[in-house]
Amino acid sequence: MLLGPPLLAALLAAAVKPYRRFVGWTNALLSLVSLGAAVVLWRHILAGEVLTSGPGEFLRADALSTLLALCVSVVGALAAWLGPGMGGDDGYDGAQARRFRIFANLFTSMMLFAVVSNNVGFMWIAIEATTITSAMLIPLHVTKASVEASWKYILIGSVGIALAFGGTVLGYFDFVNMAGHREAALNWTVLMASAPRLHPQVIQLAFVFILIGYGTKAGLAPMHTWLPDAHSEAPAPLSAMMSGVLLAVALYAVIRWEAVVNAAVGTKFTDDLFIAMGLLSLAIGAFSLVVQRNYKRMLAYSSIEHTGLICVGLALGPLGMFAAMLHLLNHTLAKSTMFFLAGRVLQRYRTTEISGVSGLLAAMPWTGGLFAAGVLAVIGLPPFGLFISEFALFRAGFAAGRPWLMGLVLALLAVAFVSMIGHLNRMLYGAPAAGVTVGEGSAWPLVPLGLCMAALVVLGLTLPAPLRTLLTRIVEIAGS
């Protein structure tokens, strides 16, 4: 029920040519089935179960899998309902809508498969498949810039995933040398059980390859260079999926291996790597925001900054892991909503340049209001959930005895704060440019986006007990 609907939707879109509107509506309804399945997984996790399926527990859903499945299914549903091919003047023809429905659903299915696969080899295959399926959609509007961004993404992403493969192979051979050949040698549960007997130097080297490899897909600096180009050229629904959940799925793979390494050699080795790469990503993301002139690239660099922040959280013990996972959830909701809103702005103003957008509140009051709220959420202001997760992260840092690290992180967040507020002010106020139509146009897409913002407010005011339980069990899994 989780993996089947996006595959069925992709097959339907491939079979129906030329494209018909009922394909989009069927896709949208099927996306709710996957979302419902993720919620049912959550219910089982709260009951203390770990669900498995297939020979040798081929598929396995624990608390960490469930959180990522929820994130992917929510953003996948938003893309299905708000993506090309649902009617109206969205700027896409039937062939483009058909291509979007095929590859966006394959993209979703591969992300879902990656997070419920117990086998780290098949997890690697699924994450590699996300590169191809998403790259096909970056040049949905074919331009020189979009094609170049797609190829850049493929080349850099493929190099990264090749490094992750090297790390996976090293981990496998270390296990085989220790335990002999076993069919389930690449199962995460088997690796975890055998971790204390693995060779420390080999598993540390393997993790370096894995962190750099999957970190490339996650947008960690200095392997981040594909991300601003791809996000700025991709259609808004794909940008929302890539920024909202693709980066999170890549981090999921890193966290799975982190648990193995921590069980083998302790936490100091992974903590030092996470802090180094997290700070570098924070710094590059924050200072790149200062000079941005393109609002989609602004959101992309903000994603790099937040990915770095999550990495720092992973190095701060159990409290940091809790804060990092809460921040991952908040970032998924906030950034996917922001990219959908950016798509509406682009459709109206026909430019991604910040200087070309003025009077957004006057031209599109609801869109402009939600866009402003989204920026305030992303920079970590109350009453939004990212304020709480960042506060929890700072609390974890001070509890871990790292005040200087927290001071540096706070300074970098302040740079990002000032930069994004300045860009936002230039977009919101003034008179709309000549030729820009005043009014919202089709307003129904604002309903699900408004619900996402409302969810961020709820997460900023309270932490529901079911979510707290889920995050607590993730901390237990990760062994931070």
Tell me what pLDDT residue 196 has: 87
| Cα(230)–Cα(300) distance, integer angstroms | 9
DSSP letter for each residue of 393-453? HHHHHHHTT-HHHHHHHHHHHHHHHHHHHHHHHHHHSSPPPTTPPPS-SS-TTHHHHHHHH
Question: What pLDDT is attached to residue 173?
Answer: 87
Model confidence at 26: pLDDT above 60:
yes
pLDDT of amino acid 179:
67
CA atoms of 35 and 49, how far apart (whole Å): 19
Residue 401: per-residue pLDDT: 93
pLDDT at 434: 80
- Mean pLDDT value across residues 215-219: 94
Q: Give the model confidence (pLDDT) of 410-463 as tens digits.
A: 999 999 999 999 999 999 998 888 888 888 877 888 999 999 999 999 999 999
pLDDT tens, residue by residue, 80-138: 999 998 876 677 888 999 999 999 999 999 999 999 999 999 999 999 999 999 999 99
Q: How far apart are CA 115 and CA 127, in angstroms?
A: 9
pLDDT at 182: 67
Residue 365 pLDDT grade (very low, low, confident, very high; cuts 50, 70, 90):
very high
* Per-residue tokens: 89: 């003047």
On the question of pLDDT at 237 being above 80, the answer is: yes
Surface-to-core class of residue 201, CB atoms within 10 Å of its CB (0-12 exposed, 13-18 middle, 19+ buried): exposed
Taking only the tens place, the pLDDT of each residue in 271-297 is: 999 999 999 999 999 999 999 999 999
Determine the number of helices (DSSP H) and then strands (DSSP E) in the chain: 20, 2
Query: Over the chain, what is the mean pLDDT?
Result: 93
